[in-house]
Chain A
Amino acid sequence: MIDRPERFAGLYELFRQAEIQLKQTEEIDRNLTIPAVNELRYVAFHLLRALSEQDSNGFDADIERAENHAKRAIYDATEASILSLLEKAEAYQADFRTLECTTEVLPNYVDLLRQLEKIRRGVSDIRASEELYLNRQQYYPQVIESIADLRELVATLEQADPLIRVKSRKKAIQLLLLVISVLAAIFGIAVSVGLHLL
């Protein structure tokens, strides 16, 4: 067995991060992300192979593979969280599209959409090319960065939702009353004209 504690420390750190992301994904998506768990299984496999390796080169290669799998696990778990949050944001967007008070409550709504689109593109671009996706371990720091922003954006939409609804309801009632008043006025005029003619 080759004794290289610094390599194990690096791998341990990545594994810990992967575990944190997986737990976070379970909380956000309420599902266990099997691809990420699968990657962690490969981490264990390569780690055990590295431990049984006598050759230094073989040891390094296996540790590197284990690290790459851990990074992919982080990426897969984080991607699942991002997708879940984007789906939530999409649902809010679909709702807000028909509510006229959205920009009154959220004056920076367009900016929010722009940021959402930027994050969405970040994930989609990696998926767009097979080569990029196979090397997705390189992009795990980017997705970890964007998840904090995304959580904040979705929280903003969540908080604004009831306020927008209350405002829109009030407006709808005002409009309904206006229509009823106009109709009543027309009816009243018609009746008075009719009575006058009689």
Chain B
Amino acid sequence: MIRTLLWLLGGLLLGGLIHLVTILMLPLLAEDTTWTRITQLEARNRVVILPPALPGEPNPFHLDTELSYGLCQVDLADGPAYLSGILPDAFWSVAIYNQAGIVTYSTTNRDGIGQNVELGIFNADQTRLLAQQQIDIAEGLLVVESRDDDLFILVRLAPPHEIMRPRFEQELSKLTCGPRPAA
């Protein structure tokens, strides 16, 4: 009897180990990830407006039907990435995701940014050059340091009414994204 209980205890311990390995390995083994889905959108260095999540249709990104979304994929190995432009006077937010789909930075226009989006994303080396004033940046640029090079940026914009969505998405698509062109 005691021997059987010891075997069961061993099974429980092994189950705990399987659980921990599953949780830790899942992000590494997942094949259909946010990153693979984003890559199919061909949003490298340009803002792509995501199709609206309409009722009755698949919504793999779990988008909010009330919002408009602009997405841009960047690689800091090409140089610092900049997101700039002007958005309509409504709620908007910016989130930067790494390859694992984790939000490494986010902000909203309630943080005093207003309608101007001026965001510069730098990796560790570029941040050091920035500190040494070897990279010129515009005054007022919001500097974000990233530990990863491969990133995507998502801008959420909330049109107050559905009828304003086309105009808001047009403004969203005018945002520029990617490395700054050589002068």
Binding partners A and B: no
